[in-house]
Amino acid sequence: MRVFAWLSLLCAVLPVNLVAASLSITDVVEALPSCALTCLTTALANSTCSPTDQQCICTNVPLNTEVNICVMEACTIKEALSTKNVTSVACNAPVRDKRNLYNWISNSFVIASWIAFLLRIASRFTSDTQLWWDDYVATFVMIVGLPQAVINVRGLTGNGLGKDIWTLNFTNISDMIRWFYAAEILYFAQVNFIKISILFFFLRLFPERKIRWTIWGTIITNLLIFIIIDLLAALQCRPISFYWKRWDGEHSGQCLNINALAFSSAGISILMDIWMLILPLTQLYDLNLHWKKKIGVAAMLSIGIIVTVVSILRLQSLIVFANTQNPTWDYVQLGYWCTIEICTGIICSSMPAIRLLLVRIFPRIAGTTHNSSNHSKSLGYDPSRRRSSVPKLASRNSYINGRRGSHAANQGITMMKTFDVTSSHRGMGFDKEIEEEDGTELVSRQATRSEAGTGDTERGLENTQSYESREDGEHLSPPHDQDGSRLSSARSINEGVLMSPRSPGWV
C-alpha cells in the first residue's frame, strides 16, 4: 500500500518541532533542508519577490505553490514536514491548539456516563429487580471505557492530538497514531456491547416468543459484527506496527483501506440503531394501555434516537477523516464524536432504571406513584424476578377476601366477564411491595347504568373464575383444586379485550 499520499500533498504530514517566536531570512536558510532550499531558490528566481522581502515570500501564492510542488517531488516526508514547520514559524502562522477542548468534552461525558451507570445500579439494589444480563454487559462497557478515557487524555492529546501536525516532533506523531489505533479497537467494542445491553433490556420487557426470537437474532448479529469489525481493525496492517510507522515512508508493510473500514462500520452501526428503534415500537400496539401511556412508553423506548443522531454526526466527521491533510488537527472532531456516541449510549440505556429510581424518591414529581411504577412491570417479562408465588397464595387470598367485603358497600356495580384460556405457566412471581402477583395483566371497569341489569348475572360467575379483576384493579391469583395445585383452565376479566397470560413460549 502506498504511504499516506495525502501527507505529501500538503508537505505537512507529521513534522519536526521548531520553537521560535520568529525567523529571519538567514535563519530560514539555515533551518531548511537542502532539497527545500533548492526549491525556494528556484521559485524566487521565477517570482517578483526579493530574496530579502520576507512578507512577499510569505504571501505570494504562485511562489508558495511552486515551492510545495517542488518539495513533494524532491524531498522525503520528514524533510517536507521540516520545511512546513520552518516556513510556518517564519511567516508567523497562527498556532492552533484544541487539546483543552478535547479533554473537556471527553472528561465531561465520561463523568456523566458514570453517574448514569451508578444510578442504574442503585436502582437495581433499591428494588426487587435484580441485576441481569443487560446490567452485566453495561458494566463491561464501563470497564472497557476506563482505559479509553485515559487514552483520550494521556495518549492522544498528550502526544499532540488537537495541534497542527507540523508542530509535533516525530516521536509524538508515532505515539499518537499508536494510541489512536488502540482507541479505535476499544471504540468498536464499546459501541457494539452498548447495543447488546439495550437488547437484553428488551428481553426484560417482551415475553412473546416471536419478538424474543427476533431480539436474540439481533444480539447474535451484533456479536458477529463486533468480531468481524474488531478483527479487521486490529489486523488491518501487516505487520501491526506498520499502522503507526508507515507515515514516514521509511518502513515497509501493507494495510487495508482504513477509510473503507471506517465508513462501512459507521454505516452498519447506524442501520442497527434504526432497527433497534423500530423493534420495540412494533410491540406497543398490542399493549393494553391508554393511548397517552403508549406515547409515554414510546418516548422512553425511542430515547435511543439520540444515539442515532450522534452516530450520523460522527459519520460527517469521517468525511474529514478520509480527506484530511492535517490528521492531528482534523481527527479531533472524529475523536470527541466517538466519545460522545459511547457515553450517550450508556446514558440512554440507563434511563429506564434511573426513572424507576426517581419515581421511588420523588413520586409526585414523577407524576406517578411507587405502586404504579412497580405495577407497570407486569407489562413485560423480568427474567431477574422469576420467583414462585405459591407460598404467598394463602395470605394473598385472605387479603382478597377481606377486600371483597369492603367492596360490597361501595356504590356502583362491578361488571365481570369470563373467558376460558389455557396456560401452562405460573405467574412471574409475587411483588411484595405492591402485594400483587406478577402474572397476567387484567383490566376492569365499573358498569354504567345501562349495564346494571346484567350486573347480578355477571356477578354470579365470581366464584367460578380463575383470574379476577375488580374495579380498583386488584389482581387475584388463580384458584386451586382440592389437592392445592393450580387449575390449567384459567379465566380472566376484561372489558372485551383479553390480554393473554405470559407467553407459553418463553425463549
Nearest to 191 by CA among 105, 265, 117, 299: 265
Residue type, 179: W
Long-range CB contact pairs, 388-391, < 8 A, 24+: 388/426, 388/429, 389/426, 389/427, 389/429, 389/430, 389/437, 389/438, 389/439, 389/477, 390/426
Number of separate helices (H) and strands (E) present in the chain: 18, 6
Nearest to 506 by CA among 210, 200, 217: 210
CA-CA distance, 260 to 321, in Å (whole number)?
11
Q: CB under 8 Å to 8, separation ≥6 — which residues?
A: 72, 77, 80
Nearest to 177 by CA among 258, 252, 290: 258
Task: Say which residue the cell 394501555 belongs to.
Answer: 289
53 is in an annotated binding site: yes
Nearest to 388 by CA among 423, 425, 421: 425
How far is CA 319 from each of CA 365, 402, 457, rounded to the nearest angstrom? Answer: 44, 69, 72
CB-CB neighbours of 323 under 10 Å: 11
CB-CB neighbours of 401 under 10 Å: 10
Q: 3-class SS at 254?
A: strand
For residue 158 the three cell numbers come to 498528550
CA-CA distance, 460 to 455, in Å (whole number)?
9
Nearest to 396 by CA among 425, 443, 430: 430
User: Do residues 128 and 433 make contact, with C-beta atoms less than 8 angstroms apart?
Assistant: yes
CA-CA distance, 341 to 276, in Å (whole number)?
16
CA 466 to chain centre: 44
Nearest to 149 by CA among 194, 98, 187: 187
CA-CA distance, 450 to 398, in Å (whole number)?
33
Binding residues for heme: 53
Residue ranges of the annotated binding site are: 53
